[in-house]
Each structure stands twice: as C-alpha cells, then as structure tokens.
Amino acid sequence: MKLSEIITRCALEKVVFCSDDEITTGYCGDLMSDVIANAASSSIWITIQAHKNSIAVALIKDIRAIIFSNNVEINQELVEKAREEEINLLRSEKNSFQISGLLYQLLEDCSDKD
C-alpha cells in the first residue's frame, strides 16, 4: 500500500513527507536494539522513541516511514535529520496499540486483494 493512502486512512499528521513509498509491512517497538534486530525492510515503524538515532535505525533497516504515537514531542534536530536522509516522519495522537491495529488491518486487506 502506498504511504499516502496509509496517511489518509489512519489520519496521520505529516511531519516530514518526502517520498510516497510502497509499504508492505510494519513493526512496533521502542527499543532501537530490538528494531535493528527484527524490523523488516520496506516497512513502517511505530514508536514513541522520538530520538534522532531513530533515523539511523530506519536507514540501516530500510524502514521507509516512522509513526510517532501518543503525540510525542518531536524536536527540530530530528525533523532536519529526517529531511536530510529522506525518511518520512508521521505522528498520531493514537497510541501504538491503536495504530498497529488499524495498520495491520489495512495491510492485511491490501494483501488479500493481491
């Protein structure tokens, strides 16, 4: 599913939107060591860990977009780093459980159609 469609259907706030990538799966986690070990490529990552290291983790794992849940505060340094490295940053007032549920349903339905 295209990222733009996910953004619309999950009502996500666009913090940095730089490329409308194809998203095939997702991962949810706040320990970056765990995300590095387990996240899949071409994925979307849901986390509350709004630290600039998240951009490097996304690059390492070919994660195309990060959703910051719980409306966490995102500092300017993180935003600039995301622009520089072309990682999409999104935000939601929903918590990680709620977004994961929504997104799982969306991506499952999408793969059923294929």
Partner 1 sequence: MSPTFILKLALEKGLNLISITDHNAIQHSLLACQISQKEDIKVIPGAELTSREEVHLLAYFTDISSLIELGAFIDRLLPNIENKPKFFGYQVIYDDTGEIIDLDNRLRQSAMNISLDQLITEIHRLNGMAIPAHIDKNKFSLISQLGFLDQNAAFDAVEVSKYKWNKDKYHLGDTLLGFPVICGSDSHHPDDIGLFYVETEHDELISYSSLNQYLQEKRDKK
Interface residue list for partner 1 (CB under 8 A): 30-33, 35-36, 49, 51-53, 56-57, 75
* Residue nearer to partner 1 on the CB measure, 1 or 87: 87
Whether 75 contacts 97, CB under 8 Å: no
* Residue nearer to partner 1 on the CB measure, 53 or 105: 53
* Residue nearer to partner 1 on the CB measure, 7 or 63: 63
Q: How far apart are CA 92 and CA 7, in angstroms?
A: 10
Q: How far is the CB of 32 from partner 1 (least distance, A)?
A: 3
Backbone angles phi, psi at 72, to 5 degrees: -65, 155
SS3 110: helix
Q: How far is the CB of 71 from partner 1 (least distance, A)?
A: 14
* Residue nearer to partner 1 on the CB measure, 75 or 111: 75
Q: How far is the CB of 9 from partner 1 (least distance, A)?
A: 30
11: left (phi over 0), alpha (psi -120 to 50) or beta: left
Q: How far is the CB of 62 from partner 1 (least distance, A)?
A: 15
Whether 37 contacts 108, CB under 8 Å: no
